[in-house]
Amino acid sequence: MNTLRFNPVAAFRNNPVLQRELLVNLRTNRSFILLLVYQLVLAAVTLVAWPSDERLNLSQDPPSARRLVDLFFLGQYVIASLMAPSFAAGTISGEKERQTYEMLLASPLKPGAIVLGKLVAALTHLALLIVASLPIIVLFLPLGGVSVYEVAAAYLGLFVSVILFGAIGVFCSSYFSRTSNSLVVSYLLILPLVIGGVLMWQTLAGDGLLRLKVVVLVVPAFALAAVTLMCAAAASRMLYPPDVGSEGKEVVDLEQEAAEAVGLVIQPDQFPDRLFAPPRRETLMADGANPVYDKEIHGEIFSQGTLMLRLVIQISILLAIPLMGALLFWQTPHAPWFAVYVIVFNMLVGPVFLAGTMTSERERQTLDLLMTTTLSPWKIFWGKFVVGFRVAFVLTSFLVWPMLLGVGLNTDFYSSWFLIVGMFAIPVVVSVVNAIIAMTASLYQERTSMALMTTYVALIVLYVVPPGARVLASTLGLSSTVQQWIEWAGVASPFSALFSLPMDSLLMRGDQPYLGEPNLVFGYFACSLLIIAVASCMIAWKLRPKH
């Protein structure tokens, strides 16, 4: 491999990786359909959100225009945080999965050129979507309340954030051999950045000049340093690849990995690690045991090492500790937000252990061989489902302990038993629903990446879109009837159920309690049972005997 000094300009001018990725990605039907849908959604939101006043006083700063611009930018910021890792997290790990990784390493391209080409190609389509939204944003400028400098600064911050999110995805992709693993670690690393960005934008809303300086000066400097370091680390790993000769699919020695690990160490023979990462079996299986379950839990699920698992645990706990203090002790009126964090964690991590259960057999071309055994399809299915659900549920339960600690130590919660039960019961139901949806996607999709993305899209539609529509309706000041209809349309969302839990005056830090919407909470549980029933029917149809 050529190790001469890397020239970024030359890497752009003549980069076959960049040219090939752009030709493949931008000419697909998916790219045009995504651009069309994105523009239609923005246009529809603009049409609904346009001020209905017959007269606009342009001598003042109308709050409606500022609310709309903030809504657009924050919405695009969150969308970019979801889309950038999905485009970038498979750039290098995808080469390993397609068994073309070593061929790429053997090319005369410099590692920096490969990393830069992958990063630019992955983010070009997302950048195109952001640029395409600019004409719609410009329509709000004549309404007043927003300066053209604020719009320019917001777009600068948005582009810088997209590059940072993409660099995180490429960096994680260079360390994992599976796209699903790099994707979930990328999401967990991006999650605190998204929370911090939204809080910064909203907190500095009253001081436009300070927010302008932060977005123009501080954010780009931080992002540039982070992108440079992560791209350099990815290029260095490709220059001296530790997995060359194995097509990136080597089996990791867990004992050696534990001896060399920094930070958290998994001890398979100790509690609670043995619940989600038990040691390898050294004895024969008992008669009547499920061999699929035994194979998955003792070897298959962690054959690529525990790096992803250790990162997930450390990042999640690191975020949970300050959130526990802020939400369960200091700002108790916002206590349901901690349960939101637990649910988001399960949404990101749970599908990784379940969406590839059946598709991985197809990708290894071992599904037909598995089906020719004496095991029934249902026994194979339940063996894989129990393993994936067990790992995802135990990892999620690690975040339940801080919530249990906060609720137990803060006596203000003792009089709100309905809230306590709901904050623990809703994440449990979410874990089951997420697992069932991920397994259904794994049965109906051919590839693990498609099953994972299908699961994420389904969860976003069920969980995120209804509360988003409710916030949009409240921001636009729609009628109470419309808002109530939108609220009940989102009965499948656990977030809507969490914020419908009643809270007494002690937690609200005021004289009046929050009555909530208990009927919506019970409706959520009923809707979740319906989703489980429908998904179970789809699974039964797929696993039916074929004559």
- Mean pLDDT throughout 408-416? 89
Torsion of CA 308, 313, 319, 325, to 10 degrees: 180
Q: What is the percentage of the chain residues whose pLDDT exceeds 90?
A: 22
pLDDT band per the 50, 70, 90 thresholds, residue 537: very high
Mean pLDDT over each residue of the chain, to the nearest integer: 82
Query: Angle formed by the axes of helices 148-175 and 179-203, to 10°?
Result: 150
pLDDT band at 160 (very low <50, low <70, confident <90, very high): very high
pLDDT of residue 1: 46
Structure confidence at residue 226 (pLDDT): 94
Which band of pLDDT confidence, cut at 50, 70 and 90, is reported for residue 11? low
Q: DSSP letters of 187-235?
A: HHHHHHHHHHHHHHHHHGGG-HHHHHHIIIIIHHHHHHHHHHHHHHHHH
Distance CA 344, CA 399 (A): 11
Cα separation of 418 and 269, whole Å?
A: 38
Range with the largest mean pLDDT of 6-15, 234-243, 437-446: 437-446
CB 299 within 8 A of CB 252: no
* Sequence letter at residue 287: D
Backbone angles phi, psi at 139, to 5 degrees: -60, -25
Question: Residue 199's Cα: distance from chain center in Å?
Answer: 19
Confidence of residue 249 (pLDDT cuts 50, 70, 90): low
Residues 6 or more apart whose Cβ sits within 8 Å of residue 46:
68, 136, 139
Q: How confident is the model at residue 440 (pLDDT cuts 50, 70, 90)?
A: very high
Q: Compute the average pLDDT of residues 125-152.
A: 81
pLDDT at residue 145 is higher than 60 = yes
Query: In angstroms, rounded to a whole number, what is the distance separating the alpha carbons of residues 210 and 203?
Result: 11
Residue 106 reports pLDDT greater than 60 = yes
- Residue 76 C-beta-side C-alpha neighbours within 13 Å: 30
Radius of gyration of the CA atoms of the chain, in A: 25
pLDDT: is 20 or 491 the higher one? 491
pLDDT above 70 covers a percentage of the chain that reads 86
Residue that wins the pLDDT comparison between 483 and 412: 412
Q: Supply the pLDDT for residue 243.
A: 63
pLDDT at 251: 53
Amino acid at 545: P
Q: What is the mean pLDDT of residues 157-166?
A: 93
Burial of residue 25 (CB within 10 Å: 0-12, 13-18, 19+) is middle
Highest mean pLDDT among 123-127, 367-371, 417-421, 470-474: 417-421
Q: Is the pLDDT confidence value at 5 over 80?
A: no
Dist. CA 485–CA 489, nearest whole Å: 6
Q: How far is the first Cα of the chain from the last one, in angstroms, to the nearest whole number? A: 54
| Contact (CB, 8 A) for 459 and 488 | no
* d(C-alpha 219, C-alpha 467), whole Å: 29
pLDDT in tens, 46-88: 777 776 655 555 555 566 667 777 778 888 888 888 888 888 8
Q: What's the angle, vertex CA 546, arms to CA 543 and CA 547, rounded to 5? A: 160
Find residue 514's DSSP bridge partners.
Answer: 503
Peptide bond into 272 cis (omega under 30): yes
pLDDT in tens, 285-337: 777 777 887 777 766 555 556 777 788 888 888 889 999 999 999 888 899 99
Task: Over range 80-98, report the average pLDDT.
Answer: 85
Kindly indicate the confidence band of residue 532, based on its pLDDT and cuts at 50, 70 and 90.
Answer: very high
**Whether the predicted pLDDT of 482 surpasses 90:** no
CA distances from 425 to 207, 292, 464, 488 (A): 41, 30, 19, 20
The mean per-residue pLDDT over the stretch 199-215 comes to 84
Q: Residue 270 has what pLDDT?
A: 73
pLDDT over 70 at 13, yes or no: no
